[in-house]
């Protein structure tokens, strides 16, 4: 499978998904609602590629051709024209995802694969909103997409085995490692990752230690590349809150969102993307120390 890939949503995840698809040779149509978001996304992709050139990971002469394979669109129909595959990376909101993928299947009924990048929501229910649930599969990328090696492939109840196989091949073609998981709340990664993140927030509220010390405990003590609070800043506090609310409903008390998470989200402190969360961040995304 190769050709044209539409990516819906150009935020934290969408721009990275567009980048890795373009790097693998796909012609990418990146869709968001506003042109400014799309311009910002292209800027981030360019910065990522230039970073790869600086680290000796990418020949400099490939930057322009990779960027040239990403076309930005604000209209769904234009983004889907000629597409073989779609990956959605719009906000973690079940009704929104169902609505958008229903629109997708009405506009482009013959897509080979529709991937949802949901972190926790039921792939089966999202798929049911479409005309071809057998071609819908979870494609759960990790942040930052261009550097992370894992993609969780989530097989819904009605996902056809050939769709799961196509998703695994796609992930491998992107140079990443797939794990195939069943459609259970939070899959394998978000469920475990969130437990750690939410417990770290409760420890912060209880004054067990400050954010840096809690993160260092996991980084140095357990060799995690990044502690749970900094990871939350990377993910986006709003995104983590949405996942926690869903897992709280579906799995139970361990996922009750801590008050500090709600408080920061209400104040617009969403982590790296807004400049402040548990840490402060420069506009270029450098960590400036604890908030
Ligand atoms: N942030 C992470 O670390 C992370 C990791 C893995 C998976 N995810 C999942 O990826 C998805 C996106 O998360 P994100 O962090 O990139 O969110 P984000 O808020 O950074 O980006 C979402 C983008 O979608 C756009 N959008 C909203 N409605 C749209 C529509 N109808 N069509 C096209 N674009 C639309 C928004 O304008 C925004 O730019 C969520 O399901 C999230 O759970 C996030």
pLDDT tens, per residue, the chain with 291 residues: 469 999 999 999 999 999 999 999 999 999 999 999 999 999 999 999 999 999 999 999 999 999 999 999 999 999 999 999 999 999 999 999 999 999 999 999 999 999 999 999 999 999 999 999 999 999 999 999 999 999 999 999 999 999 999 999 999 999 999 999 999 999 999 999 999 999 999 999 999 999 999 999 999 999 999 999 999 999 999 999 999 999 999 999 999 999 999 999 999 999 999 999 999 999 989 999 999
* pLDDT of the residue at 229: 98
Cα of 212 from ligand 1 centre, angstroms: 27
Q: Which residue has the tokens 């968001």?
A: 32
Distance CA(252)–CA(27), nearest Å, equals 42
Residue 76 beta carbon below 6 angstroms from any ligand 1 atom = no
Q: Which residue has the tokens 């600086």?
A: 54
* pLDDT of the residue at 2: 65
Whether 4-182 shares its CATH topology with 189-290 is answered no
Residue 271 beta carbon below 6 angstroms from any ligand 1 atom = no
Nearest residue to 130 (alpha-carbon basis) of 146, 108, 145:
108
Number of the ligand 1 atom closest to the C-alpha atom of 100 = 31
Cα of 166 from ligand 1 centre, angstroms: 23
* pLDDT of the residue at 1: 46
* pLDDT of the residue at 211: 98
Which residue minimizes the CA distance to atom 4 of ligand 1?
235
Map residue 243 onto helix, strand or coil. Answer: helix
Strand duo 279-281 + 287-290: pairing: antiparallel
Nearest residue to 137 (alpha-carbon basis) of 105, 176, 182, 99:
182
**Given this structure, which CATH class describes domain 189-290?**
mainly alpha
Domain ranges of the chain: 4-182, 189-290
Question: What topology is assigned to 4-182 in CATH?
Answer: Rossmann fold (3.40.50)
pTM score: 0.92
Nearest residue to 157 (alpha-carbon basis) of 180, 188, 125:
125
Nearest residue to 74 (alpha-carbon basis) of 9, 16, 18, 15:
9
Strand order across the 136-141 sheet: 70-73, 27-31, 4-8, 85-88, 113-116, 136-141, 150-155, 177-182
Extract the tokens encoding 59. 């020949």
Give burial (CB, 10 Å; 0-12/13-18/19+) of 212.
Answer: middle
């Amino acid at each position: 499978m190769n050709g044209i890939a539409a990516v819906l949503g150009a935020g934290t995840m969408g721009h990275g998904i567009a980048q890795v698809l373009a790097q693998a040779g796909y012609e990418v149509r990146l869709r968001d609602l506003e042109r400014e978001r799309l311009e910002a996304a292209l800027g981030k992709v360019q910065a990522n590629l230039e970073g790869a050139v600086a680290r000796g990971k990418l020949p400099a002469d490939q930057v322009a051709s990779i960027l040239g394979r990403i076309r930005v669109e604000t209209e769904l129909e234009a983004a889907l024209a000629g597409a073989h595959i779609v990956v959605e990376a719009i906000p973690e909101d079940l009704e929104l995802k169902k609505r958008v993928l229903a629109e997708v299947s009405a506009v482009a009924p013959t897509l080979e694969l529709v991937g949802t990048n949901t972190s926790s929501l039921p792939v089966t229910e999202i798929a049911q909103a479409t005309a071809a649930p057998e071609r819908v599969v979870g494609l759960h990328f990790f942040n930052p997409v261009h550097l992370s090696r894992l993609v969780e492939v989530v097989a819904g109840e009605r996902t056809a085995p050939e769709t799961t196989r196509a998703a695994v091949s796609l992930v491998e073609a992107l140079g990443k490692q797939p794990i195939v998981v069943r459609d259970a709340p939070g899959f394998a990664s978000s469920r475990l990752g969130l437990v750690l993140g939410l417990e770290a927030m409760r420890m912060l509220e209880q004054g067990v230690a400050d954010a840096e010390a809690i993160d260092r405990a996991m980084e140095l003590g357990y060799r995690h590349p990044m502690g749970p609070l900094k990871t939350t800043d990377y993910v986006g506090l709003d995104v983590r809150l949405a996942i926690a609310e869903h897992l709280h409903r579906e799995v139970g008390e361990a996922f009750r969102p801590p008050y500090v998470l709600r408080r920061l989200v209400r104040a617009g402190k969403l982590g790296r993307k807004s400049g402040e969360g548990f840490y402060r961040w420069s506009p270029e995304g450098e960590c400036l120390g604890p908030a």
